[in-house]
């Protein structure tokens, strides 16, 4: 990619964020690889990265807007499905929030390297294939059937996604499958759980980088945000439509292939 086309680079970064954020292949790994390949340098202060992640989050909010509105209205009433759903989301959110607030600095400093991403991609791919092959009977068929303990355990799985290359959606989906949640329900719970998790992570990143934030490159930010939103909107709906038929094994093999290619590339560059 020529350095003279930053808008096209921003568009590609947004497209990759939208494609990969909600499938178990690690958006972080893909963005690191693409950024290195095309020499993309976004605005300082992580403004661009925060913007494209926010675009992906808002796509999920739009897809589930009716359900989120029902939860917002009904969660205040005792013994309702909406209260039950809200409590389970809170339980699933807590582990990543607590561990992330405590270990964000060391993890960012020590683990955000291409080598860690490549290894995590391969390990995650092997785990996905193994879980798909040997997963227990799916006795939890829908999201409302996910109980508090299952939700909390899925939350601990999500906390593993702080290791770059693991994939937030991959960690939550694998944990859900291992706990007997059906594929579609696992994917849907992962998507909805992404909303509080990613909004909190975005707010935390904004606060940490508040003095370095730069919105001067408004065109790059707008292109990245809009492309991430549009592509994530399509991706979430497509995954829900087909995941019951194809399963997650293809994503596992894809992760192994990409991680292996990254290791070769890192060794040779």
CA distance 184 to 243: 6
Closest CA to 24 of 99, 131, 153, 134: 131
- Sign (positive or negative) of CA dihedral 121, 126, 129, 131: negative
Q: Which residues pair with 140 in a beta bridge?
A: 181
Establish if 49 belongs to a structural domain: no
Question: pLDDT tens digits for the chain (269 residues)?
Answer: 445 488 899 999 999 999 999 988 988 778 877 887 788 876 655 778 888 999 999 999 999 999 999 988 988 887 788 889 999 999 999 998 888 777 767 777 777 788 888 899 999 999 999 998 887 778 898 888 899 999 999 999 988 888 888 888 889 999 999 999 999 999 999 999 999 988 888 887 777 766 666 666 778 889 999 999 999 999 999 988 888 788 899 999 999 999 998 899 888 87
Secondary structure (DSSP) of 97-122: HHHHHHHHHHHHHHH-SHHHHHHHHH
Establish if 2 belongs to a structural domain: no
Establish if 13 belongs to a structural domain: no
Establish if 244 belongs to a structural domain: yes
Establish if 165 belongs to a structural domain: yes
Establish if 242 belongs to a structural domain: yes
Q: Domain count for the chain, please give it.
A: 1
Helices within 112-217 (DSSP H only): 114-134, 148-159, 168-178, 183-208
Tokens of 110: 């020590």
User: Backbone phi, then psi, for 9, in 5-degree steps?
Assistant: -65, -45
CA distance 264 to 269: 9
Residue with tokens 């991706």: 235
Establish if 253 belongs to a structural domain: yes
Tokens of 27: 């958006």
Establish if 102 belongs to a structural domain: yes
CA distance 54 to 201: 10
Closest CA to 23 of 220, 231, 269, 263: 231
CA distance 123 to 269: 23
Tokens of 91: 């339980």
pLDDT digits (tens, 9 = 90+) for 10-65: 999 999 999 999 988 988 778 877 887 788 876 655 778 888 999 999 999 999 99
Enclosing domain of residue 91: 55-205+219-268
> Which own/partner contact pairs does 195-198 have at CB distance under 8 Å and 24+ positions apart?
195/57, 195/60, 195/61, 195/64, 195/68, 196/89, 196/93, 197/93, 197/96, 197/97, 197/158, 197/168, 198/53, 198/56, 198/57, 198/168
């Amino acid at each position: 990619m020529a350095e003279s086309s930053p808008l096209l680079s921003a568009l590609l970064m947004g497209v990759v964020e939208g494609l990969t954020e909600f499938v178990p292949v690690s958006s972080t790994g893909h963005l690191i690889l693409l950024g290195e390949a095309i020499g993309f340098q976004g605005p300082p202060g992580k403004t661009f990265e925060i913007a494209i992640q926010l675009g992906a989050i808002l796509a999920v909010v739009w897809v589930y807007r009716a359900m989120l509105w029902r939860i917002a209205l009904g969660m205040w009433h005792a013994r309702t499905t909406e209260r039950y759903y809200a409590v389970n989301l809170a339980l699933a959110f807590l582990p990543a929030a607590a561990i992330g607030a405590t270990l964000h600095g060391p993890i960012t400093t020590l683990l955000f390297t291409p080598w860690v991403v490549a290894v995590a991609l391969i390990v995650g791919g092997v785990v996905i294939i193994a879980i798909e092959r040997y997963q227990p009977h799916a006795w939890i068929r829908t999201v409302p059937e996910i109980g508090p303990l299952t939700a909390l355990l899925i939350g601990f799985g999500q906390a593993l996604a702080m290791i770059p290359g693991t994939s937030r959606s991959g960690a939550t989906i694998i944990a859900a499958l291992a706990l007997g949640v059906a594929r579609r329900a696992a994917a849907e719970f992962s998507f909805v759980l992404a909303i509080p998790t990613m909004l909190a992570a975005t707010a935390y990143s904004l606060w940490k980088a508040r003095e370095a934030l730069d919105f001067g490159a408004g065109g790059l930010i707008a292109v990245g945000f809009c492309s991430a939103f549009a592509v994530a909107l399509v991706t979430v709906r497509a995954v829900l439509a087909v995941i019951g038929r194809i399963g997650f094994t293809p994503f596992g093999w894809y992760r192994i292939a990409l991680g292996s290619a990254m290791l070769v590339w890192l060794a040779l560059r």
